[in-house]
Each structure stands twice: as C-alpha cells, then as structure tokens.
Amino acid sequence: MSSLSSFKNQAAYHLLSYGTLLGSTLFQSFIGGIIAFRVLPRPQFSTLQKSTFPPYFILQSVSSLILFLTYPSPTGFRALLPNQHAQSSSDRLAFTLITTMLVTGVVNYVYVGPQTTEVMRLRKHQETRDGKKSYDQGPHSEEMQKLNRQFGILHGVSSLVNLVGFLGMIWYGVLLAEGLKL
C-alpha cells in the first residue's frame, strides 16, 4: 500500500485520533498544567486554565468520537454497538473504553468545567468584598470558605474524571497494540 493511499484508510484516522487524545491528555494533565501552576502567578494561571480547558475538553470529546466512528473492524463502528450477536470480547472492551473516554471529556466540558469556572467567578467577587484573595492565609469569611470548599470538590471531581479517561486511554492503547503485527 502506498503512503498516499493510507489517507483513505479509516484505521489511519483512528490511530491519529488516539495519539492526539493520549498525547494531549498526558501533556495537559502531567506536564503543561503542572509547569504552569509552578511558574505563573495564581491569577495568570487561573486565566490560562479557564481559557485552555474548554478547547481541551472539546478535543478529548471529538477525538473519542472519531475513535468510535473509525473503529478498525470489518464492520466499522457497528462492531462496537451493544447487542451485536457477533460482538467479540475485544469489541465489547473497546466499546467500554471508548465510551469512557468520550463520557469523561463531555462531562468535564458540559458540567464540571463550567461549574468550576462559575465558582472561580464567585470567588473573585468574594475576594473584592473580603479584601483578601481566596488563596491567602486564613481566616476567611464564611462565604469564601464555602466557595473554596466547592472549588476544591469540583477540581477534585474534574481531576478524577480526567484520570479515569486517561486510564481508559492507556488500556485502549494496550488493546490496540494487541492487533499490531511485528
């Protein structure tokens, strides 16, 4: 098969989508985000994350959807659909993992991310009322304590959802590798 004809092969798009998904998640979660937190002042870090996360979650969701639609099987993504009599255990696992990746991206994009941004906005207003940053040493007003707790919970949920998606990506990579012939 010539290299140009590979562009007609849906498996190529499947692999490129998987690589994009895994690489962007690995970078954002374990490299870029951590470095930005360490080197940027808190307000700039917050602005960066607030601007970066929506496109990042969209990328996760769209890449996962492309994985589903380009599933490398003779029957394509139909092999992933539940209740298929001929569905193999590998196809069932792939369906579960790809669905997990898709759901985690969508949940962070549609619910957790916007909720976190809203709490950040409310904290900013409370900082103005209190005359003190949310991350300054305490004591804090009752309202700020409540907002900080909400932010911590949402941040933790987002991180956990992202980690579940990332573990699904790793597991799916192992599943893909089983199909490689070396």
Residue 118's pLDDT is: 97
Residue 86's pLDDT is: 57
What is the three-class DSSP state of 132? Answer: coil
How many folded domains does the chain comprise? 1
Residue 3's pLDDT is: 75
Torsion of CA 153, 158, 164, 170, to 10 degrees: -140
Q: Per mean pLDDT, which range of 52-56, 121-125, 135-139, 143-147 is the poorest?
A: 135-139
Over residues 80-126, the pLDDT tens digits come to 776 655 567 888 899 999 999 999 999 999 999 999 999 999 999 99
- Terminal C-alpha separation, the chain: 17
Concatenating the DSSP letter of every residue in 1-31 gives --TGGGGG-HHHHHHHHHHHHHHHHHHIIII
Q: Please state the rounded mean pLDDT for residues 70-82.
A: 74
pTM for the complete prediction? 0.90
Q: Which domain holds residue 134?
A: 4-178
CB 143 within 8 A of CB 124: no
Q: Tokens standing for 180?
A: 């490689």
Residue 106's pLDDT is: 98
Q: In angstroms, rounded to a whole number, what is the distance separating the alpha carbons of residues 172 and 5?
A: 26
